[in-house]
Amino acid sequence: MTDLYARHKAVIPDWVSLYYQDPIEITHGEGRHVWDADGKRYLDFFGGILTTMTAHALPEVTKAVSEQAARIIHSSTLYLNRPMVELAERVAHLSGIPDARVFFTTSGTEANDTALLLATTYRRSNQILAMRNSYHGRSFSAVSVTGNRAWTPTTLSPLQTLYVHGGVRTRGPYAHLTDARFIEACVADLEDLLGHTGEVAALIAEPIQGVGGFTSPPDGLYAAFRDVLSRHGILWIADEVQTGWGRTGDHFWGWQAHAASGPPDILTFAKGIGNGMSIGGVVARAEVMNCLTANSISTFGGSPITMVAGLANLSYLLEHDLQGNARRVGGLLIERLRAIGASSDLVREVRGRGLMIGVELVKPGTDEAHPKAAAAVLEAAREGGLLIGKGGGHNTSALRIAPPLSLTVAEAEEGAAILERALRSV
C-alpha cells in the first residue's frame, strides 16, 4: 500500500470509488500518456474519465490557461467575461438547438441539476422519466434520476422518477430482438407508462450510456420516443456529458444518431470540453432557459480560467478534425478488439462508436456478468502499462475504452496488444 493511499484512508470517505487495489498516484501527462509517482508510464485509454478530450498537456490549452492565470483567474460571474461569451456563442451554434441559450456550470452533475430545474419549472411537474441503468451525477436530484443501482447511494428522492426500457439490451428478454422490434417494444412500454401517470416534465437520457458500460440503443430510438413525448408536451433532456464533442466519431453529438427527432429540448455537457478543466453546461432554447424567474448564478461556472481552456480545446478539436480521427482510429480499434475477443472465452461482445468502446466480459460458456474478471483485467492492463475504465449495470463487467481523441493508429495497436495479454493472463 502506498504511503499516499494510507494517508488518503484517514481523510477521504470510504465510498469514494478507486479503481486499483494499490491505487495509482498520477503525477503528469503528455499526449496520450500519463506517469505515476514511481515514474512508470501508462497509455491512457480512459482519457482521464473522458475528460482529456484532445491530449494531456496540450500546449495550446496550457498556454491559454497560463496567460489567463497571469491576467485574472476569476472575476465573478456577476460580471461578464469575454471568453465565456465567446464559448457560449460557439456551443450554442454547435448544439443545433434553435435560439439557444447557454449556462455554464462546473460539472456534469450541476449541468443535469440545472436541466432538471428548468424542465420541472417549465412543465410545472416534478415527475421525470429516466432510462434504466442510467447515470446522471451525484447530487440529490441527479441521483434521483439515476437508474444504475451501483451508483445510487440513496433511494430517497426529491423527484418522482419512472424508469423506461431502452438503454440496456445486452441481456434479458430484449436481447434477441431486431432493432426495429426493440424500438417498437420500448415505445409500447413508454406509452403504457404514460397512460398510467399524470403530467411528466421530461425524459432525461444519455444517447450512449457511459457508466452503464457504453451500451447504445439502436439508432432512431430517441426519435421514436420523441414522437410520443411530443404528443404529451414532455421535454427531452439529452445528457451528452460523455457522448459530446465528436467522441462517437460519426456524429458531433450522440443525439444525432437519432436525428429524425431533431435536437433535444435541453442538452447538457461537461467532461471533455475543458480538456480536464471543470466545465459543464446546459443549452436550451430561450423559452425553456428563461423560465426561471428568481435570481440564479453558479459562482465558478463560466470562470475565465476554464473558459479559455474550453475555447483553445474546442478550436484544436475542430481544426484537427479529431472527430474524424475518432471515427477512423476508433473503427480500427473496434475491429482489432473484436478479433481479440473472438479468441477469448471471457469476451461476450465488443461494442462501440468512435473512441467510446465497451468490452463486455462474461463467465466462460455462460451469459453471466463477470465483475471479477473485469477487475482482474484492469489490474493486469495496468501492470502492462495501460489504463482503461470499467462500468456496467449492477455488476461492473464491461471494460470501457475512451482515449483522448488524438489517439494514433500505433497507439491503438499498442493498447490493443496490452489488453490482449491482460485478457489472456486472467
Interface contacts to ligand PLP, rule CB under 6 A: 107-109, 112, 135-137, 206, 210-211, 239, 241-242, 270, 280
Given a contact cutoff of 8 angstroms between Cβ atoms, the answer to whether 63 and 40 are in contact is no
DSSP secondary structure letter of residue 78: T
Task: Name which of 224 and 270 has its Cβ closer to ligand PLP.
Answer: 270
Could you give the CA distance from residue 232 to residue 260 in angstroms, rounded to a whole number?
18
Task: Name which of 183 and 270 has its Cβ closer to ligand PLP.
Answer: 270
Shortest distance in whole angstroms from residue 424 CB to ligand PLP:
30
Give alpha helix (H) positions in 206-364. Answer: 221-231, 286-289, 304-319, 322-342
Given a contact cutoff of 8 angstroms between Cβ atoms, the answer to whether 396 and 390 are in contact is yes
Shortest distance in whole angstroms from residue 70 CB to ligand PLP:
27
Task: Name which of 255 and 420 has its Cβ closer to ligand PLP.
Answer: 255
Could you give the CA distance from residue 181 to residue 426 in angstroms, rounded to a whole number?
37
Q: Quote helix, strand, coil % in the chain, to nearest 5.
A: 40, 20, 40
Q: Parallel, antiparallel, or unpaired: how do β-strands 356-361 and 398-401 relate? A: antiparallel
Task: Name which of 243 and 397 has its Cβ closer to ligand PLP.
Answer: 243
Shortest distance in whole angstroms from residue 217 CB to ligand PLP:
14
**Cα–Cα–Cα angle for 137, 141, 142, rounded to 5 degrees:** 15
Shortest distance in whole angstroms from residue 225 CB to ligand PLP:
17
Task: Name which of 282 and 317 has its Cβ closer to ligand PLP.
Answer: 282
Task: Name which of 211 and 329 has its Cβ closer to ligand PLP.
Answer: 211
Shortest distance in whole angstroms from residue 135 CB to ligand PLP:
5
The position carrying cell 478488439 is 337
Shortest distance in whole angstroms from residue 101 CB to ligand PLP:
20
Task: Name which of 81 and 107 has its Cβ closer to ligand PLP.
Answer: 107
Task: Name which of 137 and 246 has its Cβ closer to ligand PLP.
Answer: 137
Task: Name which of 280 and 415 has its Cβ closer to ligand PLP.
Answer: 280
Given a contact cutoff of 8 angstroms between Cβ atoms, the answer to whether 358 and 351 are in contact is yes
Task: Name which of 31 and 217 has its Cβ closer to ligand PLP.
Answer: 217
Shortest distance in whole angstroms from residue 109 CB to ligand PLP:
3
Given a contact cutoff of 8 angstroms between Cβ atoms, the answer to whether 201 and 195 are in contact is no
Grid cell, residue 319, equals 481544426
Shortest distance in whole angstroms from residue 134 CB to ligand PLP:
8
Shortest distance in whole angstroms from residue 239 CB to ligand PLP:
5
Q: Report helix angle 409-425 to 322-342, nearest 10.
A: 30
- DSSP for 5-66 reads HHHHHHHS-TTS--SSSS---EEEEEBTEEEETT--EEEESSHHHHT--S-BT-HHHHHHHH
Could you give the CA distance from residue 375 to residue 170 in angstroms, rounded to a whole number?
20
Shortest distance in whole angstroms from residue 240 CB to ligand PLP:
8
Residues 6+ apart with CB under 8 A from 88: 102, 104
Residue number of the CB atom closest to ligand PLP? 108
Of 413, 224, 391, nearest to 333 (Cα)? Answer: 413
Could you give the CA distance from residue 148 to residue 342 in angstroms, rounded to a whole number?
29
